[in-house]
Amino acid sequence: MNMKIAVYPGSFDPLTNGHLDILKRALNLFDKVILLLAVNPKKKSVFTIEERLSMMKETVKDLKGVEVDFTDGLTVAYAKEHGACSLIRGLRAVSDFEYEFQLSAANSFIDPDIDMVFLMAKKETTFISSSMINQMFQSGVDIKPLVPEAVLRAYQSKKK
């Protein structure tokens, strides 16, 4: 039987509970999901690639069917090389749609065989974004309910 593999790409700077929810739901649809740290050249990052990968690995270590990886190339090229048929993305609001629509069109131009699968964010997580979490942490807001344990620890050790 063919294994159904999906790639969930993002800059994950850092991974949030919103991403984690999308990942867990994607696992109901696919046999394996690769949580892929990819590069958005427009973004200036808060955490290094190594820090982000370490938080991602620690967070998913007990989830069956998840792998964590990094690419500095195109996500569709990565997907093809790793036998994946789909890219997963989360949608939080109508405002995400335009950007995702464009990304999806670009990906489909590069490789029409790789489909994009969109999952709607749960309403409790629609306001979460990595930059908002960064901002909240810097302003002393308790971000514990919004991020995985490993991310919280990484913030705390960055502060020291």
Instruction: Please give the distance of CA 41 from its chain centroid, rounded to a whole number.
Output: 16
Q: Pick the catalytic residue: 32, 52, 89, 130?
A: 130
Active site residue 130: yes
The interface region with ligand COA, picked from 12-20, 27-35, 47-55, 62-70 by CB under 6 A, is: 12-20
135 touching ligand COA, by CB under 6 A: no
Residue with tokens 């050249």: 41
Place of tokens 């709607």: 120
- Residue where the block lists tokens 């995400």: 96
Q: Is 129 in the site for ligand COA (CB under 6 A)?
A: yes
Count of residues that bind ligand COA according to CB under 6 A: 26
Find the helix packing angle between 149-159 and 49-60, rounded to 10°.
Answer: 140
Shortest separation between residue 107's beta carbon and ligand COA, angstroms: 6
Let me know if 25 is a catalytic residue: no
Interface with ligand COA, residue 86, by CB under 6 A:
no
Q: Provide the β-strand partners of residue 88.
A: 117
At which residue do the structure tokens 């309910």 appear?
145
**Residue tagged active-site, from 24, 43, 144, 158:** 43
Nearest distance in Å: CB 16, ligand COA: 5
Torsion on CA atoms 128, 29, 32, 40, rounded to nearest 10: -40
| Cβ neighbours, 10 Å, residue 36 | 24
Give the interface with ligand COA as residue ranges (CB under 6 A). Answer: 9-13, 16, 18-19, 22, 38-40, 43, 74-75, 90, 92, 103, 106-107, 121, 125, 128-131
Q: What amino acid positions are annotated as catalytic residues? A: 19, 43, 92, 130
